[in-house]
Structure 1
Amino acid sequence: MNNTYNCLLLFLFTTVLFSQENLGSWNILNVNLKINSKWNAFTEAQLRSLSFYDEFHYYEIKAGATYKFSKDFTATSGFGSYNTYSEGGSFKNPIQNKEIRTWLQINLKNPLRFFTLEHRYRAEQRFTSNGYRNRFRYRLGATIPVNKKIIEPKTFYFSVWNELFFTNGEPFFERNRLFLGCGYEVNKNVAIQTGYIYQFDYKINDETGRNFLNIALLYNFDLSKQEEKEFIPTTSD
């Protein structure tokens, strides 16, 4: 167990070491509520900065519901408020964008021998300060338990995913977001996750990349009294 823990710490230290330049922070609090065998509700809050816990420029809060068609196929609908401020300080005015967003999403899981692959497809409707926009996202991810065969209480795990963002207007490709991280499921209700996010934004006249240290606290509450053997921690963004 100690060797596993040390390996996870070494992984996190390495990702931070190689991304110190302009390293920002990306903080997530996610609460998931299992109502019954078919329905889940969730809420999530995020706070981001462009420097290491300095120059906070973005926050969001959202909520939604998920319907489970089968063990490996779900559909989600959600809405939220997203707010981006100018760079150079913490929530420095003028605000760059205030946005109300709704979305529809489907998730497909492929349980394999040692890990689970997840395909996430999302269509977003974005009501922004600069007008209405559509956006389409695809994320491919894997969650890999380390010290147990499945993710259950007292399990360390690796998490990796990559997400592509598209629009229905030129230049069509908008963003790429990569996550490399690890986590620990403390008990059936709580998991802690951390890692490295690289976000690349494509613009016609400018191409920008950002590095973030991600820390997430994930709560899972089951009201159904039908506890599943495996709870795979995940965020809603």
Structure 2
Amino acid sequence: MKKIIVLLLFFITTVTKSQNELGSWNIINVNMKIDSKINVFTEAQLRSLSFYNQFHYYEFKAGVSYKINPNFSVTSGIGSYNTYSEGGDFELPMKNKEIRSWFQINMKNPLQFITFEHRYRAEQRFTSNGYRNRFRYRIGATMPLNGKKIVPKSFYLSVWDELFFTDKEPYFERNRLFVGGGYEFNKKIAFQMGYIYQFDYKINDESGRDFLNIALLYNFDLTKKEEKEFTPATTD
């Protein structure tokens, strides 16, 4: 029954649309635990404005996270972000070519059946249209469906909303909402799928769209110690 509920949620949130065409938002995320405090990660994304057609965006990024305590960590990263014109696959001219670095703080609030997360990020954006600062706040919640924790062979729900701001007018740039869920195969691999709604306000580096989001998440423990829990999450 729970599997059916999850599939219905995916179906409702990704195909019941009346105005915009559904794009695709694809992610591969690899997280490597170096020791009890330090994690290294890398992530690649590929997006299209139509359903696996009109690919217009890709990014690669990597970084390191330091866990101060189980519910508080800091992260720093850098990446390449590339946006093309609309109308075809990687249509020229490019709208934006960017190198971006960032620093962020993550705070978790685990309850009995649900974990809330707050993420605060400051970005330094070196774009083809000039330098820009950006500030992001994301609040999210993750809940297992067939147990009290996300463990191997667990289904889970995930919801988050993120606000984007800058230090120049217009100060509010974007709102991004995700609704979906996933399945953790084991303590190394998880699959996640859901719906992303992105609303842009007077910015020109990417058009606002509705997306089907699919992510493969890999988690590797290089310390060769058994992880107590693997909570699936993407970097961006």
Q: How high is the TM-score relative to the length of structure 1?
A: 0.96
Give the distance between the partners of 1:79 and 1:19, measured in 2 at CA. 35
Cα displacement string for residues 6-64 of structure 1 (whole angstroms, at most 9, x for unaligned residues): 11111111112213631000000000000100100000000000000000000000000
Matches within 5 A, 1:48-197: 48-197=47-196
1:9 to 7, 10, 28: 7
Instruction: Report if aligned partners of 1:124, 1:135 keep a CA contact under 8 Å in 2.
Output: yes
The alpha carbon displacement at 1:230 in A equals: 1.4
* Secondary structure of residue in 2 paired with 1:230: coil
Tell me, yes or no, if the aligned pair for 1:109 and 1:118 is still in contact at 8 Å. Answer: yes
* Matched letter for residue 170 of structure 1: E
User: Partner letter of residue 129 of structure 2?
Assistant: N
SS in 2 for 1:14: helix
Separation in 1, partners of 2:170, 2:161: 20
Structure 1 stretches (4+) deviating beyond 4 angstroms? none
SS at 2:155's partner residue? Answer: strand
Percent identity over the alignment? 70
Amino acid at match of 1:144: M
The whole-number CA distance in structure 1 between the counterparts of 2:17 and 2:154 is 27
SS in 2 for 1:9: helix
CA distance in 1: counterparts of 2:232 and 2:203, whole angstroms:
36
**Two-structure CA RMSD over aligned residues (Å):** 1.3
Q: Secondary structure at the match of 2:216?
A: strand
Deviation at 1:148, TM superposition (A): 1.1
Opposite residue 6 of structure 1, the aligned amino acid is I
User: Given that residues 37 and 226 in structure 1 are in contact (C-alpha distance below 8 angstroms), is that contact kept between their aligned partners in structure 2?
Assistant: no
Q: What residue in structure 1 maps to residue 229 of structure 2? A: 230
Contact 2:181 2:193 in 1 (8 A): yes
1:10 partner amino acid: L
| Aligned equivalents of 1:127, 1:19: Cα separation in 2 | 35
TM-score by length of 2: 0.96
Report the Cα offset of residue 204 of structure 1.
7.8
- For 1:38, give the aligned amino acid: K
Q: Residue 25 of structure 2 corresponds to which residue in structure 1? A: 26
The aligned amino acid for 1:231 is F
The one-letter code sitting in structure 2 at the alignment partner of 1:221 is F
Aligned equivalents of 1:114, 1:43: Cα separation in 2: 29
| 1:229 CA drift (Å) | 1.9
Counterpart amino acid of residue 12 in structure 2: T
- State yes or no: 1:38 paired with 2:37: yes
Give unmatched runs, 5+ long, in structure 2.
none
Query: What is the rounded CA distance, in whole Å, between the counterparts of 1:80 and 1:11 in structure 2?
Result: 32
Give the equivalent residue in structure 1 for 2:217.
218
